[in-house]
């Protein structure tokens, strides 16, 4: 394998064989491929794209660059879900326990916050003692005994992706559908999944703001994952406003406990969680149709079984035994809480969702640099959904901040994120499309 010949052929629009892709990725993993060659390869793919077969080969090569997990002795279907990221998207915290209570095994490999979007691992580290990087034996035991474990990517899962992503990040080649597809799926498939559901966000708080580009990514992910042997479907979901009524690490964990306790019914968040649960149960063959899957998911939620699974997962991974009962005593709290008053009366018609996520980052709830330390206590709570009628001075949200000055500054910027109109906005569905 001569790396520059592979780069040249892709640069000129040619197709690379699966063997060539595997050899290139193996060289990248062993650091026999230079950063310059990897950057040139990424740029060639950025401009020339990849066929479906090439993208499948790239995904499998990156998956096989490290350990691929196996689940001997677990008699449940092994499944997971991936979200492309949004604001107030704490779906994983509720979804994994719900479907585990229904009979799935869910080794959920999650990530840190990226840009304006929150990270599931950052949220879970609000919980004292929670181990997001358990050793393989502990992970297998938790998945076997509890049904789910939400953890981070270990150093042995898809190491080629880490190296290639770092190079893409500094060479303006992140926004390539084949490279995004291989990056996402290589990590997921390395977890030894039988089925996968994708939550592809679309809207002004998503990385893919336009419906057409979100559809393109979703179709690529579904086609490549199925081509790699993992049954996969995707839902396009709306991210033109925060999904939960909270954005910030500890605040979203508290929101998840409320959800699993039955206090968030009838919300957009509830609709998305249940829809994804239905997909996961159908794919795994644990329900005959959508109605049966929905009944099973709602029973797990309404009966308290999902809440019990969440509590057991938290304790099994090092958190407090009584976290669910006393979460307010364990979760960190901000020094001050500042309301965001409505400038006028009317209907909440639109929100600048990405800017709301950036407000959380500005508070310290996200990272401006990779080495930054997260403040788990700060964020936004009580965020009013679009379509709400408000009076002048009524709180649109509450800023949880380190001090009064910071709280008032962020409250002013959050207020500017909302559009208040004389008429209610058109009701937009939260589930935009299903792709299979």
Catalytic-labelled residue, pool 162, 188, 201, 376: 188
Catalytic-labelled residue, pool 10, 63, 76, 82: 82
Q: How far apart are CA 400 and CA 94, in angstroms?
A: 23
Angle separating helix axes 305-316 and 290-302, nearest 10 degrees: 70
Helix (H, G, I), strand (E, B) or coil at 377: coil
Assigned token pair, 379: 């964020």
Q: How far apart are CA 110 and CA 150, in angstroms?
A: 7
- Is 183 marked active-site? yes
Task: Count the neighbouring beta carbons within 10 Å of the beta carbon of residue 267.
Answer: 16
Catalytic-labelled residue, pool 29, 117, 173, 183: 183
Catalytic-labelled residue, pool 168, 201, 312, 315: 168
Q: Phi and psi at residue 398, in whole multiples of 5°?
A: -130, 130
Catalytic-labelled residue, pool 10, 81, 354, 400: 81
- Is 220 marked active-site? no
Q: What pairing do the DSSP bridges indicate for beta strands 231-238 and 431-435?
A: antiparallel
Catalytic-labelled residue, pool 10, 63, 65, 80: 80
What are the Cα distances from residue 27, in Å, to 3, 24, 34, 309?
9, 5, 9, 42
Residue with tokens 């270990």: 154
Catalytic-labelled residue, pool 29, 83, 173, 353: 83
- Is 168 marked active-site? yes
What are the Cα distances from residue 10, in Å, to 46, 98, 177, 332, 434?
10, 44, 15, 51, 32
Catalytic-labelled residue, pool 10, 63, 123, 187: 187
Catalytic-labelled residue, pool 55, 110, 117, 120: 120
- Is 187 marked active-site? yes
- Is 267 marked active-site? no
Catalytic residues: 80-83, 120, 168, 183, 187-188
């Amino acid at each position: 394998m001569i790396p520059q010949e592979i780069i040249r052929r892709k640069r000129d629009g040619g197709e690379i064989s699966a063997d060539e892709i595997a050899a290139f990725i193996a060289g990248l993993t062993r650091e026999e491929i230079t950063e310059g060659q990897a950057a040139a390869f990424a740029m060639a793919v950025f401009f020339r794209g990849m066929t479906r077969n090439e993208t499948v080969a790239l995904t499998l090569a990156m998956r096989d660059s490290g350990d691929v997990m196996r689940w001997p002795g677990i008699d449940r279907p092994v499944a997971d879900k991936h979200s492309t990221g949004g604001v107030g998207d704490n779906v994983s915290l509720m979804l994994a326990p719900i479907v585990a209570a229904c009979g799935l095994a869910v080794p959920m490999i999650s990530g840190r916050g990226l840009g304006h979007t929150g990270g599931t691992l950052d949220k879970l580290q609000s919980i004292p003692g929670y181990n997001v990087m358990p050793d393989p034996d502990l992970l297998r035991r938790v998945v076997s005994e509890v049904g789910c474990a939400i953890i981070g990517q270990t150093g042995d899962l898809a190491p080629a992706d880490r190296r290639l992503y770092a190079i893409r990040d500094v060479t303006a080649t992140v926004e390539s559908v084949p490279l995004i597809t291989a990056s996402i799926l290589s990590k997921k498939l390395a977890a030894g999944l039988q089925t996968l559901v994708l939550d592809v966000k679309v809207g002004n708080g998503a990385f893919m703001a336009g419906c057409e580009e979100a559809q393109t990514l979703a179709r690529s992910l579904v086609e490549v994952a199925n081509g790699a042997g993992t049954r996969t479907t995707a839902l396009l979901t709306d991210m033109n406003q925060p999904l939960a009524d909270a954005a910030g690490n500890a605040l979203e964990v508290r929101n998840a406990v409320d959800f699993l306790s039955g206090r968030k019914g009838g919300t957009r968040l509830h609709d998305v969680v249940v829809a994804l649960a239905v997909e996961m149960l159908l794919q795994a063959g644990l329900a005959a149709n959508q109605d049966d899957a929905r009944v099973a998911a709602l029973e797990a939620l309404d009966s308290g079984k999902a809440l019990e699974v969440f509590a057991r997962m938290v304790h099994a991974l090092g958190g407090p035994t009584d976290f669910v009962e006393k979460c307010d005593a364990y979760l960190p709290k901000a020094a001050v809480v500042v309301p965001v008053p409505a400038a006028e009366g009317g209907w909440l018609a639109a929100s600048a969702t990405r800017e709301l996520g950036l407000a959380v980052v500005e508070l310290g709830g996200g990272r401006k640099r990779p080495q930054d330390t997260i403040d788990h206590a700060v964020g936004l709570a009580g965020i009013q959904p679009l379509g709400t009628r408000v009076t002048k001075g009524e709180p649109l949200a509450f800023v949880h901040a380190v001090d009064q000055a910071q709280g008032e500054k962020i409250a002013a910027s959050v207020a500017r994120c909302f559009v208040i109109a004389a008429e209610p906005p058109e009701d937009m569905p939260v589930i935009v499309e299903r792709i299979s």
